[in-house]
Structures are given as structure tokens and as C-alpha cells.
Amino acid sequence: MLKDRRSRLDRFFETYALDAILITDLRNVRYLCGFSGSDGALLVLHSKSYFLCDSRYTTQAGDEVPEAEVRECAVRLDALAALTAEYGITRLGFEAVHTNLSDFRKMADRLTGIELVEIGPAIDEIRSCKDREEVERLKIVASLASRALSDVLMHVRHGVSELDIALELELEMRRRGADGKAFDFIVASGVRGAMPHGRASGKLIRQGELITVDFGAIKDGYHSDETVTVSCGKPGSREKEIHAIVRDAHDLAIEAVTPGISCRALDAVARDYIVRHGYGDYFGHGIGHGVGLDIHEKPTVSPRSDAVLEEGMVITIEPGIYIPGFGGVRIEDTVLVTADGCQILTSADKRLQIL
């Protein structure tokens, strides 16, 4: 499996005429060699790979990195310089999007005589299409998070704070096996629902308010992402109208998911529906993004995206309406692009639940 992932770097060797590629972004490191620690780098040559780490991670790397030689080093640049000299490397590719200016200057000063070749955002696209093992991990983490939310929603009522919901949801996900939360949960009730990223606050939930809960878990490095909007008690007519529009837009977009559709066209399916119902000015973000070892991955599903869906991609579908001074609704599922459509991985009830 890791060898198949490593082969996705071949096009960079060819396109940039490289002797080696240095991988430092820990998500890409984990994807390519299996290392799950918090510090390390992978040097990939045409026929061999080296994992570079200090003494804190030598034993862990020995267990987790089966297809690369582990080199313990006190100073990573010293080990990198020694290997580039040993193999006569003259062109070294690196992840420009994940390298700050200070680190680049240190690398350029130490690796004299070596041309450092910038590889742009396309390097992250190697993770866009998930393999069988990744899909199974994504299914597991999505399932445990969805089930955790279902349990927590049973305790939501008038007078409970947004923070109470967020904390209980994190605890319930951990009880079910999550390693942690995928991001700071959004729990936005009443007028705070107009904030797409309204992180949980101390605000108390009131009768008749809509509550948007955007949540996700991490397990074995993989993330889930899902959003529901529910009502505390009986909702008003406008609340019901907006929820129905967003849910229909969500359902139409999911029905449109298929290999070959552009992300721009998929976004338009949901966006045009919301526009036709008079709420286009209240929907400002794209309808989705990739999910995997990071909560936001390639591809981006928005009006500005040039990406095209492929079988094996895992993306979110998350249209919303956000009205300042009133509130908002977002509904989100994570889906796997299949040969003839998609499979929904998240499973919380997307109907307007009245709690």
C-alpha cells in the first residue's frame, strides 16, 4: 500500500527532473511512510527512501516505517547534507507550500551546490484519491462521530450552553474511541447561527432557536466532518423555510456527485438552488472540501476551483444560509466519490430535528 502511494511522486521526479524529494509536511510524511509522530522528514530517491528523525522517535519510526531506512540524527540538515553528498544529488525538490523562509534559507546555506526546486501546492494532491485502507479509516471515524452526536442531542434543551454541548460531544467521541476532536466545534445558536465559524460560546440556548453544530473526530490520523442544524423546541416558519432550502440544496448536490464533474459545477448545483429561492446573498463559502489526514484537503469545491472529481476522492457537501441578526443553517455530509456516484460516510439525521 505504501509503495503504491510512493509511486504518486513519480510525476514530480519526471516533471522537475529531480534526483530526490524532501517531504517535511507531517501529513504527507505519514501518508507516504506511516510515521505518526510530531517531528521527522522523509527523503525520497528514485529507488530508496530515508526517514530522518532525532533520538526521541527512533524506536517509534522503527515500528511504523517499514519501507524506508531510519536515520537518527541530532541535526536534520547534517543528515540531509550527508545523504545528498553520498548519492550525488544535484536537484532536490521540496514542499515550498510547507516551508517557511527561515527554513529555506538554512537549507540553502547548508546544501551548497544543490539546486533546491520548489514543488507547489500540487504535492498535496497525491492524497486526494483515497485507497482502500484510507476509506475504511474514514468510515470508522465518521461513524463514531455521528453516533456520538446522536447521543448528545438527546440532552440538548432550553438553558444548556453551547459550550456544554461541545464539551459533552468531545467526551462522547472519546468514549467511542476517537483520539480527539478534528477542530474546535462550531455550536452556534439563535442569531449566532449567522456566523459560519461561530465556535461554541457560553451563550445559553433558548426555546425556538436553531442550533448549528459542526463537528468532527480524529482517529488514527483521519478526520470526520459533519454539520447538523436542529431546533430547540418548535421553530418559526422562517427557520423551517431556510432549513428546507438548505437541505434540498444539500441533497441535490449529493445526487450530482460523480466522477468527471467539475468542482465548480458541483458547487453551482447547490448555489443556484439557494439563489433561486432568494437567499444567494447569504451563502458566501464554497460547498465543500476534501477530508482525510487533514480536515481541509484537496480538492476545494467552490466557484473558483478548477478541480474535477475522481473516483476515490472524499469531500464534504455543506451548503448554508447565514442571515445577520436572524441566524443561519448549514447541513453537511462527507461523501466518497464512487464509480457511479457517491457513498455518504456520515450518518447523523439531517432532517430538522426538534429537541
| Same domain, yes or no: 282 and 142 | yes
Domain check: are 150 and 83 in the same one? no
191 vs 203: CA distance, rounded Å: 11
| Tens-place pLDDT, residues 114-170 | 999 999 889 999 999 999 999 999 999 999 999 999 999 999 999 999 999 999 999
Reply yes or no on whether the pLDDT at 320 is more than 70.
Answer: yes
**Considering the domain boundaries, does residue 290 fall inside one?**
yes
User: What mean pLDDT comes out for the span 325-337?
Assistant: 98
DSSP 8-state class, residue 47: S
| Arithmetic mean of pLDDT over the chain | 97
Q: Is the pLDDT of residue 203 over 70?
A: yes
Residue 88, pLDDT above cutoff 70 = yes
Closest-CA residue to 227 (of 249, 209, 211, 206): 211
Helix or strand holding residue 115 (H, E): strand 115-119
> What is the band of 305 on the pLDDT scale with cuts at 50, 70, 90?
very high
Q: Is the pLDDT of residue 286 over 80?
A: yes
**76 & 198 share domain:** no
Stretch 183-206: mean pLDDT? 97
Q: Is the pLDDT of residue 318 over 80?
A: yes
Is residue 350, in this structure, part of any structural domain at all? no
In a domain, 267, yes or no: yes
User: Considering 106, 126, 146, which residue would you say is the last residue of a domain?
Assistant: 126
- Quote the pLDDT of residue 4: 86
Residue of 355, 267, 279, 280 lying closest to 317 (CA atoms): 267
End residue of a domain, out of 126, 159, 182: 126
Q: What is the CATH number of the domain that holds 318?
A: 3.90.230.10
Q: Is residue 353 part of a domain?
A: no
The CATH number that applies at residue 69 is: 3.40.350.10
* pLDDT at residue 140, as a whole number: 98
Are 120 and 188 part of one and the same domain?
no
Residues 93 and 120 in one domain: yes
Q: Does 352 reside within a domain? A: no
In terms of domains, do 119 and 136 share one?
no
| Per-position DSSP letters for 290-336, written without gaps between them | E-SSSSSEEEEESTT---B--TTBEEEE--EEEETTTEEEE-BEEEE
Q: What per-residue confidence (pLDDT) applies to 189? A: 98
110 and 152 both lie in a single domain: no
Residue 354: inside a domain, yes or no?
Answer: no
Query: Residue 311 contacts by C-beta under 8 Å, 6 or more apart in sequence?
Result: 129, 259, 337, 338, 339
Shared-domain flag, residues 100 and 149: no
For residues 51 and 153, membership in a common domain is answered with: no
Helix (H, G, I), strand (E, B) or coil at 170: helix
Q: Specify the pLDDT at position 1.
A: 67
* SS3 call for 177: coil
Judging by DSSP bridges, how do beta strands 20-23 and 91-95 pair with one another? parallel
Question: Do 119 and 172 belong together in one domain?
Answer: no
pLDDT band of 321, cuts 50, 70, 90:
very high
Half-sphere exposure of 114 toward its Cβ, with a 13 Å CA cutoff? 31
Task: Report the pLDDT value the prediction gives residue 108, as an integer from 0 to 100.
Answer: 95
Which of 102, 126, 150 is at the close of a domain?
Answer: 126
Same domain for 220 and 136, yes or no, is: yes
Whether the Cβ atoms of residue 311 and residue 109 lie closer than 8 Å to each other:
no
Does 283 fall in a domain?
yes
Report yes or no on 355 lying in a domain.
Answer: no
Encode pLDDT of 2-19 as tens digits.
788 999 999 999 999 999
Determine phi and psi for 82, rounding to 5 degrees.
-65, -40
Q: What is the pLDDT of residue 120?
A: 87
Mean pLDDT, to the nearest integer, of 161-186?
98
Number of domains comprising the chain: 2
pLDDT tens digit sequence for 28-74: 999 999 999 999 999 999 999 999 999 999 999 999 999 999 999 99
pLDDT for position 14: 95
Q: What are phi and psi of 314, to 5 degrees?
A: -120, 120
In a shared domain, residues 36 and 167: no
- pTM score, whole prediction: 0.95
- Supply the range of the domain harboring residue 173: 132-344
